[in-house]
Amino acid sequence: MIEYIIAKYNYWGYILLMMIGFYAMIGKKNLVKKLLGMNVFQWAIILFYVSIASKKGGATIPIVMGAHGHYEPAQAIQFLNPLPHCLMLTAIVVGVSTTGVALALIIMIHRRYKTVEEDEILESLEAFKK
Amino acid sequence: MIEYLENIIIRTLCRFLIPFIQLFGLYVIAHGHGSPGGGFQGGCILAASFILILVTFDLAEAKRRFSEKLNNFFNSFGVFIYAWTGWMCLLLGGNYLDYGKLSQILPVDPVKARYFGIFSIEVGVGITVMAVMVSIFHDLITGGKHEEVSE
Amino acid sequence: MKILAFIATLMTGALLIYATVDFPDWGDPNSPASLHVSPRYIEKTIEETAVPNMVTALLADYRGYDTNFEETVILTAGISVIMLLRRPRK
C-alpha cells in the first residue's frame, strides 16, 4: 500500500489542484472568480503533463553539455523527455491569450450591465423576463 | 509637491533598472540554443520592462517611449519574419520551413544552416510576443480611451 | 446551489483518482511517453541540427508548423482585444 501511494502521489496532488479550480468555475457567482478558477484548472493540467516527463536514475535536463568542443553522443537514458516540455510551451501561451480576451469581455459586460454578478445579469436580460 | 516626493524612490529606482531588464531579455532570446530560454521567454521579459514604465510613471510618459503606431507595427512584424524564413526555404527548392536549403545563400554547410534558421524564427517570435503583451496591457488598463488615467 | 457544486466536485475527483490505478509510476523510464519518438529526438539533435538545447530544437525545427500557427494565435488575441476595446479618436 505504501509503495502504491509513493508511486502515484504526484497524480493525486494535481487532481486536487484541478478540483479546486473546477469548484471555483461552477460554484461561484462572480465572473472574475470564475475566470480565475479556469486559470487554476489550466495550470494544473500543464503541471500534470510536465510531471510525466521525468525519469528516475539520475536523468538530467535536456541540454547537451560541452557541445561546442568534444562531447560524447547523447543516450536516451541520460536525459529527461523533452517532448511534453515543448508541447506545454504552446499550452501556456494559449492560456495567457484566452485570459486576456476574457478580461476584455468582462470589461465590456460591466459597461453594459453595470454589474459583474451572474444572477443580477440574468435578471436583467430580456430573454429571461416572463 | 507632496505627490511628487511620495513616488521619488520608486521612480529613480525604476529609471535605473529598466535598461538592465531589457538587456537580460535580449540575452535570454539570443542564448536560447545553449541554455534554457528562447523566443517566448525573452519576449515576455522585454514586455515586462515596458509595462514597468506604465506602472511607475503615467500614461503620457509610456506613450512617449513606445508609441501606439510602433506597437501596431511590431504586432505583425514578428509573424512576417517567421513566414519570410519559411518562404525563402520554399523559393530555394525545398519544403516550407526546411532550413537545410538556406545553405545556398549563407556560406555554411546544411547542418549549420538549420542553426541560423532556428535563430531567425526565435527573433520573430520574441518581437511579436513583446508587442502583443504590451498592447493587451495598455488596452485593459485604460479601457480603450486615450485620455489620462486617473492616479 | 453550492452544496450541489461541492458534491459534483467530489464525485469528479473520486472518478479521476480511480482512473489513475493503471497509470505508469512516477519517473518510470519505460512509460509510453518516453518510448516511441522521444529517444530519436534525444539522440539525433546534435548531429542533425547543431543546437544543444533539445527543447528549442524540437519547438523550432522538428515541430516548426505548430509554433508558426501558435504565434498566429497570439496575434489574433491581440487583434481581438483591440477590436473589442479601442474607441476611435474624435
pLDDT tens digit sequence for B104-144: 888 888 888 888 999 999 999 999 999 999 999 999 988 87
CA distance B2 to B9: 13
Burial of B45 (0-12, 13-18, 19+ CB in 10 A): buried
C-alpha cell of residue C20: 489513475
How many residues belong to chain A? Answer: 130
Residue B148 clears pLDDT 60, i.e. is over it: no
Check residue C25 and give its pLDDT.
84
> Grid cell 478558477 — which residue?
A37
Domain extent, residue C39, equals: 32-90
Number of domains comprising chain B: 1
Burial of B139 (0-12, 13-18, 19+ CB in 10 A): buried
- Identify all chain B residues contacting C64, using CB atoms and an 8 Å cutoff: 86, 97, 121
Q: A65 to chain B nearest CA, in Å? A: 9
Burial of B112 (0-12, 13-18, 19+ CB in 10 A): middle
pTM: 0.89
State which H helix or E strand residue A18 sits in: helix A2-27
Among the partner-chain residues C56, C68, C77, the one whose CB lies closest to the CB of B38 is: C56
Q: A54 or C88: whose pLDDT is higher? A: A54
What kind of architecture, by CATH, is found in domain A2-57+75-128? Answer: Orthogonal Bundle (1.10)
Q: Within 13 Å, how many C-alpha atoms sit on residue B75's CB side?
A: 22
Question: Which 47-86 residues of chain C touch chain B by CB within 8 A?
Answer: 47-53, 55-57, 59-61, 64-65, 67-68, 71-72, 74-75, 77-79, 81-82, 85-86
Band (pLDDT 50/70/90 cuts) for residue A54 is confident
Q: Helix B110-142 to helix C38-48 angle, to the nearest 10 degrees?
A: 110
- Is A64 in the C-facing interface, judged by CB distances under 8 Å? yes
DSSP code at position A79: B
Residue C82 domain-assigned (yes or no)? yes
CA distance B46 to A86: 22
Among C60, C88, B75, C13, which Cα is nearest to A19's? C13
Domain extent, residue B131, equals: 2-142
Residue B150 clears pLDDT 50, i.e. is over it: no
- What value does the mean pLDDT of chain A take? 87
Interchain pair C26, A93: CB under 8 A: no
Residue B148 domain-assigned (yes or no)? no
Residues A26-64: b if buried by 16+ CB within 10 A, e if exposed? ebbeebeebbbbbbbbbbbbbebbeebbbbeeebeebbb
Residue B40 domain-assigned (yes or no)? yes
CA distance A60 to A80: 6
Residue C47 domain-assigned (yes or no)? yes
Among the partner-chain residues C53, C64, C86, the one whose CB lies closest to the CB of B144 is: C86
Interchain pair C55, A62: CB under 8 A: yes
C-alpha cell of residue A63: 541540454
Number of domains comprising chain C: 1
